[in-house]
Structure 1
Amino acid sequence: MTPRLVCFDLDNTLIDRDAAFLKWARWWAGVSGLDESAVDWLVAHDNGGFRPRTELFALARKRFVLAAPVEELVASYNEEHPLFTWVEPAVLDGLAELRAAGWRVAVVTNGETAQQDLKLEYTQLVDAVDHVCVSGTVGVRKPDRRIFELAAAGAGAGLDGGWMVGDHPAYDIAGGINAGLHTILIGGRTEEPAADHRFDSVLDVFPLILSR
């Protein structure tokens, strides 16, 4: 029997990306000689990580009169920000329980290879799952069904009876539906498409899937 698959988004699903960005912003403002208003500006213009980094730092360079070129600011951010991420031990425990129960687990995330790989390594999530699909690495993004097919192949699993867990309806939930997966939305977004289930915390996901 082919093992079944559970796909997890990374940012604001397995890890609290927004909280990590806030920690980084406070640190960066401090080392750059800026005050708390700079932190508020960064958070307001970050768009939850969906604003392209080159665009964000082009704006920041102009706003704060920074000498470094945009490319250098982005490269530094990509190295620095992952060091402010963390994963809750209970999340690692939940992933271990899924795998012990016979599920194959994959991280399926949109993003740049270098930054997402650093996050996965720093949080040790790379060792807690069976496979990782980063869009910047595989050349296809959620909600495209193909990224889920790649995740399933890499994890040695099938898509039938599988799950997609994430915080973004247009990428995670739509992608899961495109791949024929059951879907779980994390957080309070209300956009369509609707997921099969919604929880405030990823920790509520594990008992649901383990009961199936």
Structure 2
Amino acid sequence: MRDAFGLETPAADLWQEYVDRVAAAVTCRPEVLEGLARLRAAAWTIGVITNGAGDIQRAKLAATGLADLVDGVAVSGDLEIRKPDLRLFELAATRCGVSLADGGWMVGDNPAGDIGGGRQAGLRTIWLRGRPWPDGLPAAHHVVEDVTDALAILLTKE
């Protein structure tokens, strides 16, 4: 590819520019970062399970400040599997230094991927309402309108 000056631009450079721009376009509200910091202070282990390209997802976590608040990350693009695949949940638990057998929580906005996958992994679930709920999918343990509501629920749990 050629840039605006007619010079060859390697595809890797273009991809990195794209990753950087995507990361720069995302933010995380301060109250969410504060809530996660409170969970960490209360000895919670925090993991991220996300579908997408690994370099983009990690760049977004770093850009928002979330990377400093989590113990482990599992990105579907690194493994060519996607939520609700149980292996992604197992990988996240391993990277957090815990086992799914220990229990835990999954918070997410995707009914099938997050809530269905979390339930399949033996986790309690909190659904961030937004997308339509599919017929036949068991209900989430809690339903909230905002992630801060999910954080408040978790802060009352052991």
Using structure 1 for the length normalisation, give the TM-score.
0.62
Query: How far does residue 143 in structure 1 lie from its aligned partner after superposition?
Result: 0.1
Amino acid at match of 1:172: D
The amino acid across from 1:161 in the alignment is G
Aligned residue in 1 for 2:25: 84
| Corresponding residue for residue 155 of structure 1 | 96
Answering whether residue 98 of structure 2 is matched by residue 141 of structure 1, we say no
More off after superposition, 136-145 vs 175-184: 136-145
1:170 counterpart residue number: 112
Report the alpha carbon displacement of residue 129 of structure 1 after superposing the two structures with TM: 0.8
Shift of 1:190: 2.9
How far the C-alpha of 1:161 sits from its partner, in A, is: 2.8
Bigger proportion of residues as helix: 1
One-letter code aligned to 1:183: T
Deviation, 1:126, is 0.8
Q: Could you list the runs of 5+ residues in structure 1 that have no partner in the other structure?
A: 1-70
2:139 is equivalent to residue 211 of structure 1: no
CA distance in 1: counterparts of 2:58 and 2:144, whole angstroms: 26
Partner of 1:202: 147
Question: What's the TM-score once normalised by structure 2's chain length?
Answer: 0.81
Cα deviation 1:52-109 (Å, max 9, x = unaligned): xxxxxxxxxxxxxxxxxxx89x835433121111111111111111111121000110
Deviation at 1:210? Answer: 1.8
1:189-212, CA deviations, whole angstroms, 9 ceiling, x for partnerless residues?
232322111111000111211212
Change (3 A) 1:196 1:190: farther
1:157 is paired with a residue of what secondary structure?
coil
Classify the secondary structure of the residue corresponding to 1:198. strand
Q: Which amino acid aligns with 2:115?
A: I
User: In structure 2, what residue type is equivalent to 1:169?
Assistant: P
Specify the SS of the correspondent of 1:104. Answer: coil
What is the rounded CA distance, in whole Å, between the counterparts of 1:154 and 1:114 in structure 2?
17
Within 5 Å, which residues of 2 pair with 1:64-83?
Answer: 75=15, 76-83=17-24
CA distance in 2, matches of 1:201, 1:145: 26
RMSD: 1.8
Aligned residues: 141
Q: What's the % identity of the aligned pairs?
A: 48
Q: CA deviation at 1:154?
A: 0.9
- The reply to whether residue 100 of structure 1 matches residue 100 of structure 2 is no
Matched residue type, 1:200: E
